Structure 1
């Protein structure tokens, strides 16, 4: 959720959605699944981005800017799907910039980009996302469009560590790509190559998995097309220490949340602000969010919120939000002064 203090233009740093507000307000939004039955009824169009469920709880949205990933916006016909009540309406854009498709909106529900099919596919701005599972010595490689929030992909990797690297590249839908690893250790990449299919915005399964036969500290990784042309230049990808640092941070955050449950329930008053952050990052469901909101007091809201902290990762995220929103309270508790 975003709380907009006044009229103007506001950008979400996670999704890169932009809202043009007529006055102050609250907008609740999340990524939902495309209905394949509705898409089957479209002629020569396919999804060109995630589908967003958007609800304005207070105030009004004048314009919505949806991020696209086209490298040549003039060659590709982009429109917006407005999905409501099991129906799909196609909205022509007000304008298309180098990064966003802009529409006027009157009624909120679900919105997502559509791309007209071309006889010859054009490259799009994409990203290479890496997740490492140390226990299995496996590196998962995702090739996804540039307008997919990495947090959405991260959700399926509960036990893996996100490897932060420079991820940007350009990939062409329908073309074949393959990973190249340079290491002294034995490994197998499966599949050896794969077709890039960006229209699968409902599923973010790994494009490749690289299985190492021994524990490795780092590899040099690149992505090339079937002709050997490098599309994502070689990077030194380091594994050693990454899992330990991330796991220690998550464990410390989760332990803090468990240890100080009683004090946090009594001390935190801006509970919905925290719930908004967790919901916008897909850490809690809409049902959980609604149950928290329905409670009459901040203390009861916090008790309900605690029932939603069902994994170490969610507790760690809750801890991060607490440090940002209630820095002095967290600091005092960590020093043992509260």
Structure 2
């Protein structure tokens, strides 16, 4: 059996560490390949004893260690020293990793980058992407990569300390394309007195999810396909279908920020408690760069109570007002959903209309929002406000 020490989160003591015994023929947290790669399912501050020479990759940070011998490795992220970067006209191109290990045990590091294929080829040709080596005394030297692959920058390690990728400011921002592989991360805030709130973050892809989640520990991470292409210096906007009551319409500038804090790029306040929505990210030219249907956990609403409340609201309308309500429904779409057919609404009683709305607009959340929108178009603002205030 192989002995691997589990990760230690910041503040944990040595006594709190658990030792895991994993068999090579039946791994639980590791994947073995022919070249002895191990994918470690860890987060936070890592502490590992590697069994011997080989190539090992952490699945959370994507760091790759090329080991020459058995050794214990400790590493964690740390903030970039802004003063050093400013003096050297450099910009972070990745997280800064503080790595500790016995001298000579690590031959080479592979640091994950976020460059697109075109950007990577340009960087290789012009030498614009390099590795910062920062000592405990905050002295920085620049290491040139041995090779840049589609995903990593390979660098020989003469001495261990803090290492991270950097861009040359002038060349990066004035001479080459600034497109990078990005990611869209979503966090649903815990329920409160206000409407459901979704935090949307646009980030470079080589920022570990575990690092971002530390800043959003109270929120629920919504797992969706996050990959996209972003341009540093472009402005982006977020759009919801169906449109939320407070859609974040102000475009936000995308910058290659690498912590220490990860604040939301957009905050989406939802009108009611929808079970799902479609979120779209557009660039400054109006081009969609990311689009995804999102199912919000824990936001299902009781269909029976919604049906009863809508029916109670419609009973406050006079017969003429109710006919106007049905007329608006014939023209009211909802996201990608077309209006209800006129033939279905003809001669329909109030209870029948409520059933049609629930069925046609995909559940209680959509039915409630459509009803509110139609009431507002009819200037029945008191009824609309009452329904909004009631919404769970």
Which residue, 63, 78, 82 being the options, matches 1:36? Answer: 82
Q: Confirm or deny that 1:46 pairs with 2:91.
A: yes
Superposed CA offset, 1:131-160 (max 9, x none): 001414100000010100011111111221
The residue correspondences of 1:313-332 to structure 2 (distance < 5 A) are: none
Higher relative contact order (CA 8 A, sep 6+): 1
Partner residue of 1:175?
234
Aligned pairs for 1:101-180 within 5 A = 101-116=153-168, 117-119=172-174, 120-136=176-192, 137-180=196-239
Q: Quick check: 2:240–2:277 contact (8 Å CA) kept in 1? A: yes
State the SS of the aligned residue for 1:74: helix
2-side partners of 1:83 and 1:105: how far apart?
Answer: 12
User: 1:1-338 residue pairs with structure 2 within 5 A?
Assistant: 1-43=47-89, 45-57=90-102, 60-71=105-116, 72-76=119-123, 77-84=128-135, 85-116=137-168, 117-119=172-174, 120-136=176-192, 137-183=196-242, 186-190=244-248, 192-232=250-290, 234-241=291-298
Match of 1:73, SS state, is helix
TM-score between the two structures when normalised by the length of structure 1: 0.68
* Alpha carbons 1:216, 1:240 under 8 Å: kept: no
Deviation at 1:107, TM superposition (A): 1.1
Q: 1:159 to 1:201 in 2, by over 3 A?
A: closer
> Cα RMSD (Å) of the superposition?
1.8
What is the aligned partner in structure 1 of residue 345 from structure 2? none
Regions of 4+ moved over 6 Å? none
- Contact 1:126-1:168 within 8 A present in 2 as well: yes
Paired residue secondary structure (2:101) = strand
Q: Compare the two structures and name the one with the higher strand fraction.
A: 1
Q: Structure 1, residues 142-201: CA drift from partner, whole Å, max 9, x if none?
A: 0010100011111111221000000000101000111111026x4213462101001343
The alignment partner of 2:120 has SS state of coil
Whose radius of gyration is greater, 1 or 2?
A: 2
| CA distance in 2: counterparts of 1:3 and 1:128, whole angstroms | 34
**Stretches of structure 1 lacking an aligned partner (at least 5 in a row):** 244-338
Q: Give the deviation of 1:228 after TM superposition.
A: 1.2
Contact kept, 8 Å, 1:39 with 1:46, in 2: the verdict is yes
| TM score, norm. by length of structure 2 | 0.59
Offset at residue 91 of structure 1 (A)? 0.7
Mapped partners of 1:209, 1:79: distance in 2:
35
Query: How many residues are treated as equivalent by the alignment?
Result: 240
